[in-house]
Chains A and B, each alone.
Chain A
Amino acid sequence: MTSPTQTHPRRPPDVAPVLEVRCLSVTFTTESGTVSAVDNVDLTLGQGEIVGIVGESGCGKSVTAMSLAGLLPPSALVAGSVRLQGVELIGAPQSVLRAARGQSIAYIFQEPMSSLNPVLTVGRQIGEVLQVHEGLSRKQARARAVELLTLVGIPSPRQRVDSYPHQLSGGMRQRVMIAMAVACGPKVLVADEPTPALDVTVQAGILDVLRELRDRLGTSILFITHDLGVIADVADRVVVMYAGRVVERAPVDELFARPQHHYTAGLLVATPTPGRHAGTDRLQEIPGLVPVLSTQPDACTFAERCPAADAQCLGSAPPLTCAGDMAKMAEVAEAGKIADMAVLSPDHLVACWHPCGDPSPTRPEVGGCRPART
């Protein structure tokens, strides 16, 4: 965190990441051919860090999350490396994966009602995890379930532990899911769109619980969402995905203040924010559609929709490189831009041949980020 404007109060990531994803690619074989869902995704998650993965539907964010613990169907071809506390999970035998799930990595999904068993009390369901993974007796498991319900902020947990899922509200159910996920104290919690089904007043509570888990237990959280507001609220660092690739990776403040990829910048100006009204302001649209790719081309997949695209973007895929890297900047831009780029923090990465490069103090100008200066 060397950037002078970096005011983020949260802890910086530890040196050794808890989760390290390298060159992760996922291809699905379907009746109508192959679909390349994830291409060469690199990301790290530090101890006690909340990393947000943001992108629109079909960008591969959920597939990335599912592939971490081998949760994808057999039709998925997964390549690359996922190291969780030093243990390689891709291609690992089922026994290793089973041990990792729950103990080291746990998931929360969007719809708690479909993830909970409707005929068992929530206490039984939380307890089951503990009985299987930690060998607790039923009585011990129940007592621990009450503790966990308290931890996730469920009022009168001693009564609620005997409730069935349908007796709880949507927010309560999501809290139960979180309690189940953290029952065995996983190092990594993957939250895949945990809040869109919830009302904002309830969502705020769930986000608060997740933050508190990080603070109290040091859990690292991979938070997947399409909602930029939620990302701004919870994430320390953000990974932006587009059409299966990571296009930008940056600390949260820097990403919102100085997006380097034109897609990120486009998303930000397309989002209504306080003070914007149709009478005085116009939301910028990103023209075109997200492509569905059968193979990953050697080109920037955003080029078709990008205001700054040129022949280079169509001819070769930009690597994910340091946005502030002088050497790289010397290659891709003229002298005037380098000074601006140098103030970006070193962990701000972008996959773009012509990054925005404009350290605008507030928001990118209307029209997205400015094309490279001449």
Chain B
Amino acid sequence: MPPGKDMTDMTRGEAGSGEAGPGEGRPGEGRPGEGRPGEVTAGQVTAGDVVRPRSYALPRTTGQSIGPTALELENLVMHFGAVRAVDGVSLTIRKGQVMALVGESGSGKSTVGKCIVRLLEPTSGVVRIAGADVTHLSRRQMRQHGKDVSIVFQDPAGSLDPRMLVGDVVGEPLRLQAGRMSRRDRQARVEEELGRVGLRTEVARRYPHELSGGQRQRVSIARALVSSPSLLVADEPTSALDVSVQASVLNLLADLQRDIGFACLFITHDLSAVEYLADDIAVMYLGQLVEKGSRARIFEHPAHPYTQALLAAAPVADPPRQRARKPVLLGDDVPSALDPPSGCRFHTRCPLAFDRCVTEVPELLGIGDGNAACHLVRPDGSGPDIRDVAGRDVAGRDVAGGETAGRDTGGRDTGGRD
């Protein structure tokens, strides 16, 4: 069974719908009596940094009570035998917010996504979707939360059943909510959803292999959104696509997110896509979060050396700017999650590491609008910048200097924003 199938089998249920999230409030669908204060703001707030509050200091919700958050992860741990894929991740995504989860291969970012949609049962920790604890629900119980959370995978060819017509693929989540929707209604709903992702309604009578990669990814998105989830997990949705197609899928996600107002966990390694789509960013390294913060702060004043290295390493499609950047070379030896390094897990590759990093695990310290886990970062978010000290490569040779164009290398600002 393709991985996408499990997840989107989840159906809309009654339980847990008390706080169904902004997805219900889509334009033109008028559901009387379901107006919630959260929707209005979600609809109005597009992406303005100014409008959205940035504090992570949100009131904690407990148990089954209804909170203002679309997703809460508390100390999420997922071990596969000896492999510590995810080791204590805590995250909060507010309604209508796009949070990017960034990290390199093996950082555990996709595992976090799978735990959220409960394709995996976490080893420990708590997953709350729209305030409801779904950590250890059975598959049947989880189906009732299917309306709250959906996932889109990287490879649309592998996540759509090749034997099902596109219309059936998209309508399946609705069909599984037994007895709630007539065939005719479902078909109308599918056509509406296809139209919304920019596909013609005829596509419903095609098979996935008849479509291009970009169209297939649109089908995946339609399927994920047909049950009006309050949270969409998008796991590398554009990584398998060509540049021009990638642009259209990023635009589509941005438009849908703005219009519908669902919250989104955008899992990716592509930093330029992150800057384009995300409101907030969380950075993972070897199963742990190393930094969280607003998009503007992370891109302008990254506090953690690993975040700084990631930003310095991602090439920019602008030759003079690219040449002016200081390369930060970390070495290729990425440690394994089977045997993560002691202390700070990044210490084996960090040019700033000192003895304390080897022995003592750094706390995720609150800085301004986010957190960072590094012994060198001070509570005001200031600290050394790897890009200032790492102007040398492994051979000890001076590498191209110059100002890091377009980015402030200072990092000594008080967290960038308030």
Contact = CB atoms under 8 A, between A and B. Distances in A.
Interface of A: 7-9, 56-57, 153, 155, 169-172, 175, 199-205, 207-208, 226-233, 252-253, 256, 266-268, 270-286, 289-290
Contacts of A284: 247
Given A267-B243, A286-B244, A172 B332 contact: yes
20 contacts: A200-B104, A201-B104, A203-B313, A204-B312, A205-B332, A229-B316, A229-B322, A233-B319, A270-B247, A272-B272, A273-B272, A274-B299, A274-B321, A274-B407, A277-B47, A280-B47, A282-B251, A285-B244, A289-B212, A290-B242
Contact of A253 (B258, B273, B320): B320
B272 A230 contact: no
A296 to B, nearest CB: 21
Contact of B104 (A175, A199, A229, A252): A199
B89 to A, nearest CB: 19
A57 B242 CA distance: 7
Given A201-B104, A202-B334, A274-B406, A279 B319 contact: no
Contacts of B332: 169-172, 175, 202, 205
Interface string B84-106: 00000000000000000000110
B329 A204 contact: yes
B243 A56 contact: yes
Interface string B289-325: 0000001000100000000011011111111111100
B272 A253 contact: no
Contacts of A256: 317-319
B416 to A, nearest CB: 15
B277 A278 contact: yes
A57 B245 CA distance: 11
A214 to B, nearest CB: 14
A281 B312 CA distance: 23
Contact of A233 (B48, B315, B334, B395): B315
Given A253-B319, A273-B316, A199 B334 contact: yes
Contact of A274 (B104, B258, B272, B319): B272
Contacts of A273: 272, 316-318
Count class of interface residues, chain B: 35 or more
A345 to B, nearest CB: 14
A204 B313 contact: yes
A178 to B, nearest CB: 12
Contacts of A228: 243, 317
Contact of B310 (A170, A201, A205, A229): A201
Contacts of A266: 244
A232 B243 contact: no
Given A169-B332, A200-B271, A278-B47, A285 B251 contact: yes
A302 to B, nearest CB: 11
A203 B315 CA distance: 9
A60 to B, nearest CB: 14
B210 interface: no
A204 B328 contact: yes
Contact of B329 (A8, A208, A285): A208
Contacts of A172: 332-333
B243 A270 contact: yes
B334 A169 contact: yes
B393 A278 contact: no
B279 to A, nearest CB: 9
Contacts of A290: 242
B47 A279 contact: yes
Interface in B325-353: 327-334, 349
A172 B333 CA distance: 8
Contacts of A7: 320
Contact of B393 (A8, A199, A208, A226): A208
Nearest to A231: B317
Nearest to B299: A274
B277 A201 contact: no
B394 interface: yes
A283 B254 CA distance: 10
Contacts of B248: 283, 285
Given A199-B105, A201-B328, A272-B273, 10 more contacts: A56-B244, A169-B334, A204-B312, A204-B329, A227-B315, A253-B319, A273-B317, A277-B275, A283-B250, A285-B244
B333 A267 contact: no
Given A232-B315, A268-B317, A286-B244, A205 B250 contact: no
B317 A200 contact: no
B409 interface: no
Contacts of A207: 315
Contacts of B247: 270-272, 283-286
B104 A271 contact: no
Nearest to A54: B243
Complex A-B, nearest 8 residue pairs according to Cβ-Cβ distance, in ascending order:
A279-B47, A171-B332, A229-B315, A278-B254, A199-B104, A270-B247, A228-B317, A283-B247
B276 interface: yes
Nearest to A230: B315
Contact of A232 (B271, B276, B316, B349): B316
Nearest to B400: A9
A216 to B, nearest CB: 11
B187 interface: no
